[in-house]
């Protein structure tokens, strides 16, 4: 039986050991990589005017042929009027009548071929569409920074439906909360007397009162009134009580608190267009 003896040592004295190294072109060479950059694709950021147009286009979906329409005033309302003119020209809408809330809106609508009339002749309006300067969670509004608050309130109060269009920057927790103007229309006679009374009324809100100017002269509305703008440090605590108190002042024509009037508010924002209703 064969036996295996342990190998105690290996002698390399009379032999040579060769180790072949791979060449640079060998399949064992390490692969090389080119740097690669990945750019994330982000959605385009819409401008405020683009957001307003989105909301305006959505609001026009409420319009049907044959309606009497209240036409608002301001940058957002202008998009609505423009869209109505476009749909009339294309024949999508027919037999609508517009009741403008300002001379500016009247001129724009007339230039687009929209038939116009007066609230005197059409006291019942099917639908009014307008913008807003502030919108609170209860869909109460501040309006009138465009100077047409009296005519806007007359027309929109006479409307069966009042649809508001705005971008998300107009949303506030409480009216006056944006820190921007809440307008009050006053007669020219003794306007400063009423400005002082308004400032005293809102002392707790830290109200600052300014006469609206047009260059170096007071701004004059379509109805020949002045506008006193109220700027609040904190939101108005009770908008309904505030509106009632302002209206009690002799010489006050109208204020920019539009309370319990909106039936729907269309908001355009970074997440798209949403509709809020009561």
Q: What residues act catalytically? A: 152
Q: Quick count: other Cβ atoms within 10 Å of Cβ 18?
A: 4
Cα three-residue angle 213-216-217, rounded to 5 degrees = 60
89-116 in b/e form (b: 16+ CB < 10 A) is eeeebeebbbbbbbebbbebbeebebee
Alpha helices in 128-236 (DSSP H): 149-157, 191-201
User: Count of residues for the chain?
Assistant: 278
List the structure tokens of 222: 């379509």
Task: State the helix-helix crossing angle for 75-90 and 48-60, rounded to 10 degrees.
Answer: 50
d(Cα 169, Cα 83) in Å, to the nearest integer?
22
């Amino acid at each position: 039986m064969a036996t295996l003896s342990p190998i105690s040592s290996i002698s390399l004295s009379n032999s040579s050991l060769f180790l072949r190294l791979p060449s640079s072109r060998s399949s064992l060479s390490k692969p090389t990589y080119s740097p690669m950059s990945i750019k994330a694709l982000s959605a385009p950021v819409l401008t405020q005017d683009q957001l307003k147009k989105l909301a305006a286009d959505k609001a026009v979906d409420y319009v049907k042929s044959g309606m009497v329409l209240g036409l608002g005033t301001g940058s957002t309302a202008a998009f609505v009027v423009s869209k109505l003119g476009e749909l009339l020209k294309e024949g999508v809408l027919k037999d609508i009548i517009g009741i403008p809330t300002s001379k500016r809106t009247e001129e724009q609508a007339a230039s687009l071929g929209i038939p116009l009339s007066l609230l005197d002749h059409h006291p019942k309006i099917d639908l009014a569409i307008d913008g807003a300067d502030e919108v609170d969670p209860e869909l109460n509004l501040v309006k009138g920074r465009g100077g047409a608050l009296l005519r806007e309130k007359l027309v929109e109060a006479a409307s069966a439906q009042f649809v508001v269009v705005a971008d998300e920057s107009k949303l506030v927790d409480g009216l006056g909360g944006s820190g921007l103007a809440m307008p009050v229309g006053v007669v020219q006679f003794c306007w400063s007397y009423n400005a002082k009374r308004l400032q005293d009324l809102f002392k707790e809100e830290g109200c600052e009162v300014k006469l609206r100017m047009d260059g170096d002269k007071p701004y004059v509305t379509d109805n020949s009134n002045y506008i006193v703008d109220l700027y609040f440090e904190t939101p108005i605590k009770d908008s309904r009580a505030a509106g009632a108190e302002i209206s009690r002042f002799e010489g006050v024509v109208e204020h920019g608190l539009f309370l319990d009037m909106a039936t729907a508010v269309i908001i355009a924002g970074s997440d798209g267009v949403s509709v809020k209703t009561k």
